[in-house]
Amino acid sequence: MTEIFKGSFTQQEPIPEEGIAAALDVMRSGRLHRYNLGPDEVGETALLEREFAAYTGARYALAVASGGYALACALRAVGVRAGDRVLTNAFTLAPVPGAIASVGAVPVFVGVNEALTIDLDDLEAKAEHANVLMLSHMRGHLCDMERLMAICDAAGITVIEDCAHTMGAAWKGRASGRWGKVGCYSTQTYKHMNSGEGGLLVTDDDEIAARATILSGSYMLYGRNGTVPPETVFERVKYETPNVSGRMDHLRAAILRPQLARLDAQCAAWNARYQRVEAGLRGTPGLQVVERPEAETYVGSSIQFLLLDWEDGAIGEVISRCLKRGVELKWFGGAEPVGFTSRYDSWRYAPHERMPASDRVLRSILDMRLPLTFSLEDCDLIARIIRAEVGAVWQGEGAA
Ligand SMILES: *Cc1c(COP(=O)(O)O)cnc(C)c1O
């Protein structure tokens, strides 16, 4: 009997009922804009900022329109100007080099290793090329953050962390987003909290927080934000910081607050699913699981495995055989960007040099989301299907 998986890889859970009720209240009030507040009202958006600052331990949190917006806002707030070069990961998604390009800066790609993290030797070699690193914790994999910070501190590089896949994750107990100067998060539907679109930015730095607030479109109403730097800092920056509107509204904040309250439980649920798939895949001939370092507290909302040194055709065969059985694998090695996947060399706006060691890894990466609508039994079934189909192609049966 051939088992088929019938679930959907893009189906998220419903919004918690409390969030739906809070959203209805916002709609009934008619006050959706974050600065449209009743007398003495703090508002959902400012409350979310306070709660997210408390959750991450950051002094300041700013709620914005998207994760990509948070990244571009962070670049501007740390002083990146048109023409500057910004180091970033070769293995990431389009909004990361896109954010760099959006401020007129130029991405300088740093390689990826078999742990799917930034190649720190390559970073060290390229450190003199830029003053800023936009570090993408792509697919939730954290590099050795102590070594990364040591390299960047020595070279005077400001680190911005893209935590779109690491909300709730940590390295040696310190939250992702709290190693660099700024941490950026997305609350888009496929991330760890779902408001359709949305983003958050955290920092401890007064001036970066003040600039980011003005940039986000606070006008002179910044005093109504959830976490507000001292007025003297605003006095310094408010006339020279452009308004690049990208605020979050109360409706999105209302549905996020109950999700933040249960984020840690959700992360545990993701990891239970991740570990079932990983256990099912481990030991499959020809397939390499990505080993998670002891120091890493990860959130397994997606899983990757490597088919290292396989022919492209054989990888394609695995993908199509799995798809026939209901298992959707994404391939980061494809020559053309497809769906959400792309390679560093996909973007003609960003110069690149070939990175053969990274290309070998990128060509081998298969990726799968693990939405919380999957049961643990679903995860076992998915692993059995992948194991069987990888096995079949590996043994040459799929070649016919
Ligand atoms: C989703 C994502 C972003 C951008 O988030 P949006 O909210 O979609 O703009 C940035 N980086 C990575 C790695 C992402 O996956």
Residue pLDDT, tens place only, 47-74: 999 999 999 999 999 999 999 999 999 9
| 204 and 70 housed in the same domain | yes
- Yes or no: say if 385 and 325 are a contact pair by the CB < 8 Å rule: yes
> What's the rounded mean pLDDT across residues 254-261?
98
| 65 and 213 housed in the same domain | yes
As for how many domains the chain has, the answer is 2
Does the beta carbon of 259 sit less than 6 angstroms from any atom of ligand 1? no
Q: Which of 191, 238, 324, 330 is catalytic?
A: 191
pLDDT given for residue 333 in this prediction: 83
pLDDT digits (tens, 9 = 90+) for 154-193: 999 999 999 999 999 999 999 999 999 999 999 999 999 9
In a domain, 76, yes or no: yes
Ligand 1 centre to CA of 67 (Å) is 5
For residue 289, give both structure tokens: 């699981």
Q: What percent of the chain has pLDDT over 70?
A: 99
* Residue with CA closest to ligand 1 atom 5: 67
Asked if residue 355 has pLDDT above 90, the reply is yes
pLDDT, mean over the chain: 96
Is 126 a catalytic site residue? no
Helix (H, G, I), strand (E, B) or coil at 95: helix
In a domain, 175, yes or no: yes
Ligand 1 centre to CA of 83 (Å) is 23
Does the beta carbon of 341 sit less than 6 angstroms from any atom of ligand 1? no
pLDDT digits (tens, 9 = 90+) for 74-88: 999 999 999 999 999
Ligand 1 centre to CA of 176 (Å) is 15
pLDDT given for residue 193 in this prediction: 98
- Yes or no: say if 95 and 114 are a contact pair by the CB < 8 Å rule: no
In a domain, 328, yes or no: yes
In a domain, 3, yes or no: no
Does the beta carbon of 176 sit less than 6 angstroms from any atom of ligand 1? no
| 39 and 58 housed in the same domain | yes
| 289 and 245 housed in the same domain | no
Question: C-alpha angle with apex 376: 188 to 304, nearest 5 degrees?
Answer: 55
Ligand 1 closest atom vs CA 197 = 7
Asked if residue 398 has pLDDT above 70, the reply is no
pLDDT given for residue 397 in this prediction: 57
Asked if residue 140 has pLDDT above 80, the reply is yes
Does the beta carbon of 188 sit less than 6 angstroms from any atom of ligand 1? yes
Residue-number span of the structural domain to which 238 is assigned: 17-261
Question: Which of the four pLDDT bands, split at 50, 70 and 90, describes residue 90?
Answer: very high
Ligand 1 centre to CA of 164 (Å) is 5
Q: Domain of 206: which CATH number? A: 3.40.640.10
Question: C-alpha angle with apex 194: 326 to 101, nearest 5 degrees?
Answer: 95
Ligand 1 closest atom vs CA 162 = 11
pTM: 0.97
In a domain, 12, yes or no: no
Question: Which of the four pLDDT bands, split at 50, 70 and 90, describes residue 400?
Answer: very low
* Residue with CA closest to ligand 1 atom 7: 67
Ligand 1 centre to CA of 341 (Å) is 12
- Yes or no: say if 300 and 275 are a contact pair by the CB < 8 Å rule: yes
Ligand 1 closest atom vs CA 138 = 13
Q: Domain of 289: which CATH number? A: 3.90.1150.10
> What's the rounded mean pLDDT across residues 367-389?
98
Asked if residue 1 has pLDDT above 90, the reply is no
Does the beta carbon of 166 sit less than 6 angstroms from any atom of ligand 1? no
In a domain, 335, yes or no: yes
* Residue with CA closest to ligand 1 atom 15: 164
> What's the rounded mean pLDDT across residues 218-240?
97
Which of 226, 261, 296 corresponds to the end of one domain?
261
Distance CA 83, CA 358 (A): 26
| 248 and 347 housed in the same domain | no
| 215 and 269 housed in the same domain | no
| 24 and 79 housed in the same domain | yes
Asked if residue 371 has pLDDT above 50, the reply is yes
Ligand 1 centre to CA of 252 (Å) is 17
pLDDT digits (tens, 9 = 90+) for 24-49: 999 999 999 999 999 999 999 999 99
pLDDT digits (tens, 9 = 90+) for 311-328: 999 999 999 999 999 999
Region at 260 (left for phi over 0; alpha for psi -120 to 50; beta for the rest): alpha
pLDDT given for residue 246 in this prediction: 98
Ligand 1 pocket check: which of 66, 75, 92, 93 to mutate, most ligand atoms within 8 Å of Cβ?
93
Distance CA 165, CA 191 (A): 7
Distance CA 248, CA 258 (A): 16
> What's the rounded mean pLDDT across residues 337-349?
89
pLDDT digits (tens, 9 = 90+) for 115-127: 999 999 999 999 9
Ligand 1 closest atom vs CA 66 = 7
Q: Residue 211: which of 319, 81, 77 has the closest Cα? A: 77
Poorest-pLDDT segment among 125-134, 135-144, 244-253, 344-353: 344-353
In a domain, 290, yes or no: yes
Q: What percent of the chain has pLDDT over 90?
A: 94
Return the number of other C-beta atoms located less than 10 Å from residue 367's C-beta: 18
